Amino acid sequence: MQDLNINILLPLYYTAKRALLSVGCILLVAIGSYAQQAPKVSSTLDTTTIKIGEQINFTVIVETDTISTVVFPDGQTFSPLETVEAFATDTTRKEDRMTLQKRYALTQFDSGLYKVPAQRIEIDGQGYFTDSTQVRVADVAVDTLAQKMYDIKPLMEVEKSHADFWKWLLLVLVILGVLGGLVYWFFIRKKPLTEEEKEALLPPYDRALLELKKLENSRYLIQDEYKEYYSELTNIVRSYLEEDAHVTALESTTDELIAKLEMLKDAGELKLDNDTLNQFRRILQTADLVKFAKSKPETSVAEQDRKAIEEIVIKTHDALPEPTEEELLEQAEYQEELERKKQKKRIAIAGYSAIGLLLLTIGASIAYFGFTNVKDTVLGHPTKKLLEGEWVASTYGYPPVSLESPKILRRQETELTPDMKASVQELQIFMYRDPDALFTVGTTSTVLVGEEEPNFEASIEAFIQNLEDKGAKNIITKQEEFTTLTGVKGIKVYGSGKFPVPEEKDLVQGEYSIILFGGKGFQQQVILTWLENDAYAQQIVDRILSTLEVKTEI
């Protein structure tokens, strides 16, 4: 029975053993495959000791699969060292593996021992870090015996560049030129006269004959429009008599007009015979019948009436006495006066158009940019000019404080008092102040005697006391932690109060901020003041604080 059981179990044992061996082999292959695909990250420095301003090469080497996505750090991630250039990535492939090499050129302009921070390399969304190393930046040896030393030269005033001014001036001139051209073209220039305007400028006699000729070539009679024909015929002759004979003919009836002509004839001012006047009366009466009684004469009669009116115009013109020199002079002066009035009218239209365009431009600007923005741009708001001007990025003092500001900060001459010399070894102050806008930005770098920790509370009290000594009142103080982009922590003290302004009797409401950093043996401060509710100043302050960096190792 036992031998039977052994004979049955032996095949099962060998089968299970072979299965376990197969599973083990599969696991070993999987583990080997995983070990083969794991990425490797390493870094090298070509040297660990440089002189001020020299460059070192920091190289990151990544070994991973060819299908992996690798993201290298970008920007100033090597602080306190500065990134001069990030070179293109060098890639080599071998089967299903690739090797990436990314080189960075780094430098530093202050002597000391600096730590190159570990860099984060992202591979397929997972972070891998390089090793951190130390670099020593040595001073450049200066032979003070062979080369004479000189004092630091004083600050020199640099004339402000007017390059942007010429661009704006050119733009304004172009706009004014375009506007002037449009005004001249549409309002001032003498436009070519139309045919109707040319006819209107003709003398009354010539104009009447021309209009009668046009009436002869019209289609009124062909289309049986006798009323329009006779209306135009009588208007031509009445207008001529009104202008040339100075008879109020347009508003007179037929009898009244004939009576006026007879009076001129009797007075010897109009030498017309009775037949001409009778013929003129007949034509006017025929016109009245056509216009008011819907009479319809023969076409030949209508044509003969037009010829008769033409002869009446000619006879009237010949019967009129020649104008005297005084009359001609009065006519010339009248024409000149008309031309002056037309010129004034064109200038007025051009002026109103320019004002309208200006108001339209201002209205559109206010609608798009807002009233306050347009007003401050036109009137020149002091902090708006600072905000939109060319900013300066620089480093001030030792220990260094780096920031961007709308103007360069100037070194302030300071002398240590005997009390200060007991605890302060060196004090450097840089400041820019715009008294009109109550805007101030300044930095202080203090090297203490010994390795003692800075007393931030004493510094804050001294700052508040200094404000009160200068006349500030109702100072409100708040405090919170401040952290730079690189992770350096400090203390931010801020608040508001009433501050004195030069040439102003009353105090003005303003705001302030003071940011303090420090460590053993040193302290750094950034001081800001500005007017309350000044949106442009607030934007300046926010931008300065966003770029603020300090070094906490000396």
Q: Which of 274, 299, 321 is the last residue of a domain?
A: 321
CA atoms within 13 A on the CB side of 209: 10
Residues 412, 314 within the same domain: no
Q: What is the 3-state secondary structure (H, E, C) of 64-121?
A: EECCCCEECCCCCCCCCCEEEEECCCEEEEECCEEEEEEEEEEECCCCEEEEECCCEE
20 assigned to some structural domain? yes
Radius of gyration of the chain (CA): 50
pLDDT (tens digit per residue) in 463-474: 888 888 888 888
Could you tell me which residues come within 8 angstroms of residue 453 by beta carbon, excluding any fewer than 6 positions away?
Answer: 518, 519, 520
For the entire predicted model, the pTM comes to 0.42
The span from the CA of 279 to the CA of 309, in Å, is 9
Residue 217 burial (CB count, 10 A): 6
367 assigned to some structural domain? no
509: nearest Cα among 495, 498, 521: 498
Residues 477, 460 within the same domain: yes
Q: What is the 3-state secondary structure (H, E, C) of 511-529?
A: EEEEEEEEECCEEEEEEEE
If phi > 0 it is left, if psi is from -120 to 50 it is alpha, else beta; for residue 36 that is alpha
510 assigned to some structural domain? yes
pLDDT (tens digit per residue) in 342-353: 777 777 777 777
The token pair that represents 160 in the structure block: 């402000």
380 assigned to some structural domain? no
Beta strands in 420-468 (DSSP E): 424-434, 439-448
The span from the CA of 471 to the CA of 488, in Å, is 34
Listed as own residue / partner, the contacts of 112-118 with beta carbons closer than 8 Å and 24 or more positions apart are 112/136, 112/137, 112/553, 112/554, 113/137, 113/553, 114/80, 114/81, 114/553, 115/80, 116/45, 116/58, 116/78, 116/81, 117/77, 117/78, 117/79
Q: Supply the CATH number for residue 93's domain.
A: 2.60.40.10
Residues 398, 545 within the same domain: yes
Q: Average per-residue pLDDT in the chain?
A: 79
Contact (Cβ atoms closer than 8 angstroms) between residue 222 and residue 245 = no
Is the torsion defined by CA of 304, 307, 311, 317 positive or negative?
Answer: positive
- Residue whose entry in the numeric block shows the structure tokens 């009836």: 253
Residue 108 burial (CB count, 10 A): 21
Residues 132, 270 within the same domain: no
267 assigned to some structural domain? yes
The token pair that represents 456 in the structure block: 């931030």
Residues 108, 214 within the same domain: no
Residue 292 burial (CB count, 10 A): 9
Q: Which of 93, 114, 138 is the last residue of a domain?
A: 138
Using DSSP, state whether 250 is helix, strand or coil. Answer: coil
Kindly report whether the peptide bond that precedes residue 297 is cis, defined as omega within 30 degrees of 0.
Answer: no
58 assigned to some structural domain? yes
SS3 percent helix, strand, coil of the chain, rounded to 5, is 45, 25, 30
Beta-sheet pairing, 49-51 with 133-138: parallel
Contact (Cβ atoms closer than 8 angstroms) between residue 429 and residue 375 = no
Residues 63, 11 within the same domain: no
Beta strands in 246-341 (DSSP E): none
Q: Amino acid identity of 490?
A: G
Domains: count for the chain: 4
Is the torsion defined by CA of 284, 289, 290, 291 positive or negative?
Answer: positive
372 assigned to some structural domain? no
pLDDT of residue 7: 43
The span from the CA of 78 to the CA of 55, in Å, is 13
pLDDT of residue 61: 93
The token pair that represents 440 in the structure block: 């101030």
Beta-sheet pairing, 549-550 with 508-519: unpaired
Length of the chain (residues): 554
Range of the domain at 449: 389-550
Residues 121, 248 within the same domain: no
Residues 64, 21 within the same domain: no
The tens-digit pLDDT sequence of the chain (554 residues) is 334 333 433 343 444 445 344 434 433 443 344 445 688 899 999 998 998 888 999 999 999 988 888 999 887 888 888 898 899 998 988 888 899 999 999 998 888 888 888 888 999 888 898 988 889 988 766 555 555 666 666 766 656 555 555 666 677 778 878 877 777 777 666 666 677 767 777 888 888 899 999 998 999 988 889 999 999 999 999 998 888 888 888 888 988 988 988 888 888 778 888 888 889 899 999 999 998 888 888 988 899 999 999 998 898 888 877 666 665 566 666 667 777 777 777 777 777 777 776 777 667 666 665 666 666 666 657 778 888 888 988 888 888 899 998 888 998 887 777 777 777 888 889 999 887 667 889 999 888 887 778 888 888 888 888 888 888 888 888 889 998 888 888 899 998 888 877 666 778 888 889 999 988 888 888 998 888 888 888 888 999 999 899 887 65
The span from the CA of 483 to the CA of 489, in Å, is 4
pLDDT of residue 12: 38
331 assigned to some structural domain? no
Residues 467, 490 within the same domain: yes
Residues 545, 397 within the same domain: yes
> DSSP class of residue 251?
T
Using DSSP, state whether 193 is helix, strand or coil. Answer: coil
Q: Supply the CATH number for residue 215's domain.
A: 1.20.120
Q: Amino acid identity of 434?
A: D
The span from the CA of 124 to the CA of 102, in Å, is 17
